[in-house]
A and B are shown apart, each in its own frame.
Chain A
Amino acid sequence: MSDLEFDPLGTAGRLDHREDHAPGDEPVESAGHWVANANLGLGFSVILTAAAFVLASTHLIYAPAIPVALLVLAIAQMGVHLVFFLHITTGPDNTNNVLALAYGIMVVFLIVIGSIWIMSHLQANMMPMNQLMQMQP
């Protein structure tokens, strides 16, 4: 729908601070800005990825801490991707995008953490499935 037609205030469609931005979209900047942005993103990602692979294949740090370190690196890298490739910022024009993202993250955590918690409880409380099946007539 073309929306410029019926705008009594004459403000719709003008890109100003009152209007939202779409995620991944930032039409006001020049191409050079985005090349620099992508270069930065690539740099950070390479460093973080390399660090993760090095940690996992060597004994640089205390072994039981490796999973936590890997998770931290993964989350950092996801952040890098969000900022440099998906162009999510904290500006007011991005409020809706960030809120939606936060909502999505909440749902993901509820499902993953909730499932792990619930299922580990079941695992601990119930007899193993093969014994359970033997109880069936």
Chain B
Amino acid sequence: MFGKLSWSAIPFDQPIPLITSIILVLVIAGTLGLVTWKRWWPYLWNEWITSVDHKKIGIMYVLLGVVMLIRGFADAIMMRTQQAVAINAPGYLEPEHYDQIFSAHGTIMIFFAAMPLVIGFMNFVTPLQLGVRDVAFPTMNLVSFWLTASGALLVNVSLFVGEFARTGWLPYPPLSETAYSPGVGVDYYLWAVQISGIGTLMTGINFVTTVLKMRCPGMSYLRMPMFCWTTLASSLIIVAVFPILTATLAMLSLDRFFGWHFFTAGAGGNPMMFMNLIWAWGHPEVYILVLPAFGIFSEVFSTFSGKPLFGYRSMVAATLFICIVSMMTWLHHFFTMGSGPAVNTAFGISTSVIAVGTGVKIYNWIFTMYGGRVRMSVPMLWSLGFIFTFVIGGMTGVLLAVPPADFLVHNSMFLVAHFHNVIVGGVVFALFAGLDYWFPKAFGFRLHEGWGKASFWFAFFGFWITFAPLYILGLEGMTRRLQHVNIAEWRPLLLISLAGVGILIVGALCQVIMLVVSIVQRDRLRDDSGDPWDGRSLEWATASPPPFFNFAILPNVEGEEAYWGIKVKAIESQRLSEEPDYRDIEMPVNSPVGFYTAVFASVTGFALIWQIWWLAGLGLAAAFAGFVVFAWRDVHEFHVPADEVAKVERARRAQREALLERIAAEESVPA
């Protein structure tokens, strides 16, 4: 009846997961209770859960990403603590629990923290920068989000029903085959990632189409802001490689469920094929994450230097170069697996070559600052910290790209330090920069500057104190994923690393305080102008927060840096452009289909994990029924009458006009 599910799946005998899950359940129940008590359900349902507004979906993605980032960070704290205390000692985590923690840490950080955050920014920013009202497929966008959320839910359910994978964040066979991992851990991984992967693929399709087919008039390719280019490149990679992930995990599922032999050791199975395929997805994946991060930095450097981005065209070329070459380097993740010199050399070279594209970008950012009026606001601090951190991470990467060197340090803490160096220094720093940069656009008030700066400095030094020792440990021969070590000389470095984590915790706390303080002081931090940073791209042309239709009239772009051109014209002529004829606007209607998808995806996923076949069948039938009902809907759009558009837009124009007058007054005072 319930497949493999029974009461023994609940970890009554393991205090750490049990207590964590009880606390989690209480927190969730408390939140739901509060929402019910305050009667927030209609608001939540109408304004968020069913909303197809790309801005709200983006904010929900970021929220999901932040929550999962905290969850992954908690895993990281446990791992570093364990390694610091388990020197010639068992530590406080049993091996099989420790294995689950490092697997969950990697899975959560990549799939459910970094990806939602990156996609969240793509969602919020790209249509605004392109000067349009929504993405190409708004309802599909909502479904994508809810699929990702379902995956995240399944990973977290594994905490208190059953177990999670003990195979690392990529379940290498033959370890992940039923012979060696008979439990449901790997199945939790497979279905959680599979479901969220489908959501990501849909996002990729959506954004390729959005950027290529949905731009405001005059927004030619070479007038698009850099972030849009990186969104395009990242989405192109998603479209190309996420099917590989789907296929590979499907093959592993067939092995595990039905005893096929794609990757088994024996009977003609080929475990190496899994490494080959999974990294054909896995290496491009890091560029899916880091390219939008590069886009965020490009916007920040240009805005806070008060200059156009240096070498815009070379930046576009470098982005597309990385997009293509990222798919030709995957073998460097398994140099040591036994390929001949020809293969290893070819992939070593392609790996080194991809650094050229990144190098072009680094120089462009530095030259963007050169000669500019650089403002050291919080986003700029993150960006500068990024350049320093990422260059060092990139250089250790070039070391690892040399096969003989890789043979020495592969699978060591050196590797761990390297990829945290580029992912934290590249992606996470970008996300914090982007959070600070676009927060006023999303909510209409800035984040508190002082706490933001404090958070940056703690995070920056905390990061380096945590990970610099790991480089040394790796060179000294410490391999990754060790539950305990028996070399006492490593104790000081492991303790320093633990201290770094402590500093990182302070940094994270500063972020939380920054949010709270900013919300409390929101009136003082209010941004009336819609353009708090003196921005250059179209998202700053509209109000903060933008009306749900983004632009009353789609902007007509006449050059690069669309909004900068409008701004210059307005200030020089000391008036806004002519008031246009307002027309009715059609916007897509909200839809419960996303939430419906989440429910059946979670149920089906859970049923497949525990092999409750009737429930899985029911879920799939429900999916088809939902598909038919959704396809039958008659109302796709609703009209926003011209009067309402005019009312909203005139309020914005009044603000801008007031601003212009104040500028004129300021200018007329002789210096």
Binding site for B on A (CB under 8 A): 1-2, 5-9, 12, 20, 96, 100, 103-104, 106-107, 110-111, 114-115, 117-119, 121-122, 124-126, 129-130, 132-133
Contact = CB atoms under 8 A, between A and B. Distances in A.
Interface in B99-143: 133-134, 138
Contacts of A124: 340
A135 B505 CA distance: 45
Interface stretch (B29-37, B71-79, B561-569, B579-587): B579-587
Contact of B133 (A1, A107, A115, A130): A1
Nearest to B237: A107
Interface in B600-634: none
Interface of B: 133-134, 138, 208, 212-213, 217, 236, 240-241, 244, 265-266, 269-273, 276-277, 280, 324, 327-328, 330-331, 337-340, 342-343, 553-554, 556, 580, 583-588, 637
A133 B173 CA distance: 13
Given A114-B280, A132-B265, 19 more contacts: A1-B138, A5-B583, A6-B553, A6-B585, A8-B217, A8-B556, A12-B217, A20-B213, A96-B212, A100-B208, A110-B327, A110-B328, A114-B328, A114-B330, A115-B273, A119-B272, A125-B338, A129-B269, A129-B270
B339 A125 contact: yes
A96 B313 CA distance: 20
Contacts of B273: 115, 119
A115 B584 contact: no
Contact of A118 (B208, B213, B331, B585): B331
A132 B273 CA distance: 16
B265 A129 contact: yes
A5 B637 contact: no
Contacts of B585: 5-6
B585 to A, nearest CB: 6
Contacts, number: 85
Which among B266, B339, B342 has the greatest number of chain A C-beta atoms within 10 A? B339
Contacts of A117: 343
Contact of B339 (A7, A12, A96, A122): A122
A127 B108 CA distance: 36
Which among B271, B338, B584 has the greatest number of chain A C-beta atoms within 10 A? B338
Contacts of B240: 103-104, 107
B113 to A, nearest CB: 27
Nearest to A127: B338
Contacts of B556: 8-9
10 closest cross-chain pairs (CB), A and B: A2-B586, A107-B240, A121-B339, A126-B338, A6-B554, A125-B338, A121-B343, A121-B340, A5-B583, A122-B272
Which among A103, A118, A129, A133 has the greatest number of chain B C-beta atoms within 10 A? A118
B236 A103 contact: yes
A6 B339 CA distance: 58
B288 to A, nearest CB: 14
Nearest to A130: B266
Contacts of A6: 553-554, 583, 585
A119 B270 contact: yes
A114 B275 CA distance: 13
A107 B276 contact: no
A6 B642 CA distance: 12
A110 B347 CA distance: 13
B339 A2 contact: no
Nearest to B554: A6
B217 A9 contact: yes
Contact of A8 (B133, B272, B328, B553): B553
Contact of B280 (A106, A111, A122): A111
Contact of B586 (A1, A122, A132): A1
Contact of B276 (A8, A118, A129, A133): A118
B266 A2 contact: no
